[in-house]
Amino acid sequence: MKRWLPLGIFALIVAVVAWGLWRPADRTVRSALVGRALPDFTLPAIAPGKPGLSSADFRQGKPRLLNVFASWCVPCIAEAPQLMTLKAAGIPIDAIAIKDTPGDIAAFLRRNGDPYARIGADAHSRVQLALGSSGVPETFVVDGTGVIRAQHVGDIRPEDVPELMQALAAAQ
């Protein structure tokens, strides 16, 4: 019986490794702030003709989307049509531009459309990190009292639009 113990242990290790490879873990970093108020922040304007952004803007009684993006982000370009669809549906969208310049943001908006009411400049990613955002793009559903109700990690795809609209309706 003792002769088979090493073989049994080896088989168990192989089974655990195979199971881990077959079913990899979700490595998406979720914000711990879902269900909690936005951190206090005030960001200067970065886009010509658009105001900057502050946490107080989200306490106006109406749910909004908060999109964390950058002009240098390829998935941000891919999600631009979906953001324009949400804007056309009457969804208010604000943004935080990460490590960007006014000229690059203006060019990005000219090329890809401008769904944003306000855009704040987060040159050092301080607000992004305070939100628990791990990268760009990320979108948060914020209710009218400034509480984060949902988080969408990655670019918004056409099949994600109804889900975001439902989350906004639930945040009323």
pLDDT digits (tens, 9 = 90+) for 12-23: 888 777 777 777
pLDDT digits (tens, 9 = 90+) for 107-160: 999 999 999 999 999 999 999 999 988 889 999 999 999 999 999 999 999 999
pLDDT digits (tens, 9 = 90+) for 38-54: 999 999 999 989 999 99
Spatial distance between the Cα atoms of 61 and 142, rounded to a whole number of angstroms: 10
pLDDT digits (tens, 9 = 90+) for 69-109: 999 999 999 999 999 999 999 999 999 999 999 999 999 99
Spatial distance between the Cα atoms of 76 and 83, rounded to a whole number of angstroms: 10
- pLDDT attached to residue 25: 60
The answer, as to whether pTM is greater than 0.85, is no
**Integer angstrom CA distances of residue 98 from 16, 18, 43, 77:** 40, 39, 11, 14
More confident call, 2 vs 12: 12
87 CB neighbour count, 10 Å cutoff: 17
pLDDT value at 28 more than 60: no
Spatial distance between the Cα atoms of 35 and 33, rounded to a whole number of angstroms: 6
- In order of start, what are the domains of the chain with their CATH numbers? 28-170 (3.40.30.10)
